[in-house]
Chains A and B, each alone.
Chain A
Amino acid sequence: MIKRRHFLILGSILGLSPYVYAKTDDSFERAFKKIEPTLKAVQAHMFPQGSKLPSADAMHVTQFVYETMQHPSFDRDIKAFVIEGAEEFMQRTKGKFLSMTTAEKEKALRAYEETNYGSSWLERIMTLTMEGMFSDPIYGANIKEAGWKSIDSYGGFPRPSTKYMGR
């Protein structure tokens, strides 16, 4: 059995980010704001315009990631990992990812994927992005059911009237 906590946190070269020690929501918000442009660019590279799936930019999937991680039901270790994995990627790319060409971005992401830690982080970002794109439109990232329409697969009825069962 994989020990998730060890794998996610101690696997990082940078070690624990300040966010992991911080307990207030403010600190998460601050940490997220720092990584947000990079996360958004990674998602856009994974889900570009012109694909058979909706684009990340059109579906507000970065906002979804931000919101879902703030819900109490979200695993706190994964929450820290998303932030920390992005920080590490930013460090590896020396803060230049946003200005890279598509080919350079591909190369940088594939290089990150070569590491166990980077591969795990990219898997997590893929999962979170798809959670947004293919969850009920109430969560804000499956706009006008575009995600469902693209794969001709729809959620069932009744649809939720509140997010996270109103919890």
Chain B
Amino acid sequence: MYDVVIIGSGASGGAVAYTLCKTGYKVAVLEKGRLIRRDEFSKDELAYCRRDLVTPNLFDEYHTIEEKVDGKWVATPTYESGWSFWNGNIVGGSSNLMSGMLHRLHPDDFRLKSKYGEIEGANVVDWPISYEDLEPYYDLTEELVGVSGHYEKHQYEPPRSRAQFTQPPTKENAVVKLLDKSCQKLGIKSLVTPRAVLSRDKGDRNACYYSNFCGSYGCSSGAKSSSREALIKPALATGNLTLLTNTHVKYLHSESKDAVKYAMAVDTVTGKERRIEGKMFVVAAQAHESSRLLLNSANKYHPHGLANTSGEVGKNLIFSGGGSGQGELHKDSLKDIKFEDLMTTGLFVNRSILDWYFVDDWWDGKFKGGSVEFMFEHQNVITRARKNNYKEGKLLWGKELGEHVVKRMTEQKSIRFEIFNDWLPNDDCFVSLDPTHKDKYGMPVGKLRVEGHPQDVKVGKYIAKKCEKILEEMGAKNIYSSVSSAPPQNLVAGGCRFGNDPKTSVLNKYCQAHDVPNLFVADASFMPTGGSVAYTWTIYANAFRVADHIVSVLRTVA
């Protein structure tokens, strides 16, 4: 029997495993995917970005996505739509494939209801912990997992216990001169993006080598601060971690109301089932799958699903609100920088804007806003070559296609922005079990209803307009933005809210199930509200905090 069994090896599973193994506990990490080692990663666009090779085949494992069509809820299996909600099922999870643009939450994100009051149609609540409770763990993540950057004082930058980042920012493309100058002219403050990519060597991890293909790909130098590189590898080195790959957990078995006894796992290659016993269980399967696992673990002791006395498991699922926009910087109209410097590949844009994190506008009013990241269009060659090859609605081909593609690829570069704002939790965004669809292991698939709140789109559009002005000032052409209520499937949280009241939350403030003391949920499921930044830094930090509590509980039991 293991001291702790962790389901999932991504950011949260890795952080819990690292802490426990370093403390001396025997841990099993059950990972559904396989291990891809650093030296096995390549920049193979076809394999990583255009085929399901790091995620399950959608005909084997899928979700059903429920959207409102003509006033009725319609569920579509993802094998029909091709809209995959898997995000990297390999050791280290989706942290292997992230772009790594990270921010901490703001202190007010922990008390959104107190700060902004009720919003009609949204289930906003304050968190049971404060920024001060999480700050030491943000700091730990920054140093241990590795976040490079440069701190500059800004009214919406949260306070830090460490004056400056230990790793300086990654190298930047000359376009930042143009971007900074344009922002300055508009009275906007551009900040250096904290990035989960090492700019200097750290232990056996080598600094970034600026491959030009970062997001969506595994890192071949170890610079990207994935759970696999930063946490699972050192946890394995302690000798206390048993890493079970190709091991999918179908359900957690309990023989009483207050404890999980074992995880029923299936070998994804052989199909053989086995029971894996532990004193404690930590679910870290990514938010929508963690809720599904608890719901699939229903039995006579837990008729509505494990840890679901409150009926809240799966409720208040959140994504990230916002959208994105883009503009083209053309060779013949480029300002301030040389075209060949713009076209230099591999270097980061590394700029964020927090000016609209909280908005108090004379016309639009006072509301919670969001953050913005600037970046180049993803450099994938096939994707870039294939897009926008139309003329008057007809597909271009022949010599005309050649002229068009070569000109676009060699005489311009697209710069884009991504907006992150709160996805307000609401009654029409949740995960439940699909009553008919089952995966290849015979378990009901997760049915996700993914409706956003109208406020999310309003905020996104407000910020998009501001960003379009920046692109205009930069001299970009063909500027457009797209803000919608469609959920970004890689930015998912909620479903197992933490809180002080067992009637309205699934987990206590340590992410321990109110109902089942030997069960924790360590991934982003706990978040009652999501803040207006990508979740990853908060996931790492909170999982370290949860791990410290698990250690204290294990010590008490001993």
| A residues apposed to B, CB below 8 Å | 1-6, 45-48, 50-53, 68, 71-76, 106, 109-110, 113, 119, 122-123, 126-127, 130-131, 133-136, 138-139, 148, 150-161, 163-165, 167
A8 to B164, CA, bound (A): 55
User: Which of B41, B53, B217 is close to A164, meaning CB atoms less than 8 Å apart?
Assistant: B53
User: Known contacts A6-B80, A151-B410, A159-B42: does B53 contact A130 (CB below 8 Å)?
Assistant: no
- 30 CB contacts below 8 A, A to B, read A1-B65, A2-B81, A4-B82, A5-B80, A46-B397, A47-B402, A50-B399, A53-B406, A73-B52, A135-B382, A136-B44, A150-B402, A151-B381, A151-B385, A151-B409, A151-B410, A153-B381, A153-B385, A155-B381, A156-B211, A156-B212, A156-B217, A157-B43, A158-B41, A159-B44, A160-B44, A163-B47, A165-B47, A165-B53, A165-B54
Interface residues on chain B, number (Cβ under 8 Å): 51
A130 / chain B contacts, CB cutoff of 8 Å: 382, 385-386
Residue contact A160 to B42, C-beta cutoff 8 Å: yes
The 10 closest A-B pairs by CB, nearest first: A156-B43, A51-B402, A52-B402, A156-B213, A73-B51, A160-B44, A46-B397, A151-B409, A160-B42, A135-B46
Q: Does B242 contact A (CB under 8 A)?
A: no
Residue contact B382 to A51, C-beta cutoff 8 Å: no
B65 / chain A contacts, CB cutoff of 8 Å: 1
Residue contact B82 to A47, C-beta cutoff 8 Å: no
Per-residue A-contact encoding for B9-41, CB less than 8 Å = 1, 0 else = 000000000000000000000000000100011
Residue contact B50 to A161, C-beta cutoff 8 Å: no
User: Known contacts A126-B386, A155-B381: does B76 contact A165 (CB below 8 Å)?
Assistant: no
A163 to B51, CA, bound (A): 12
Residue contact B398 to A51, C-beta cutoff 8 Å: yes
Per-residue A-contact encoding for B376-401, CB less than 8 Å = 1, 0 else = 00010110111001000011011101
Residue contact B397 to A134, C-beta cutoff 8 Å: no
Q: Does B259 contact A (CB under 8 A)?
A: no
| B residues apposed to A, CB below 8 Å | 36, 40-48, 50-54, 57-59, 65, 67, 76, 79-83, 209, 211-213, 217, 220, 379, 381-382, 384-386, 389, 394-395, 397-399, 401-403, 405-406, 409-410
User: Which of A48, A52, A74 is close to B51, meaning CB atoms less than 8 Å apart?
Assistant: A74
B403 / chain A contacts, CB cutoff of 8 Å: 52
Residue contact B394 to A4, C-beta cutoff 8 Å: no
Write the chain B residue with the least CB distance to A161.
B42
Residue contact B395 to A4, C-beta cutoff 8 Å: no
B381 / chain A contacts, CB cutoff of 8 Å: 134, 148, 151, 153-155
Residue contact B395 to A53, C-beta cutoff 8 Å: no
A139 / chain B contacts, CB cutoff of 8 Å: 46
User: Which of B42, B76, B217, B384 is close to A1, meaning CB atoms less than 8 Å apart?
Assistant: B76
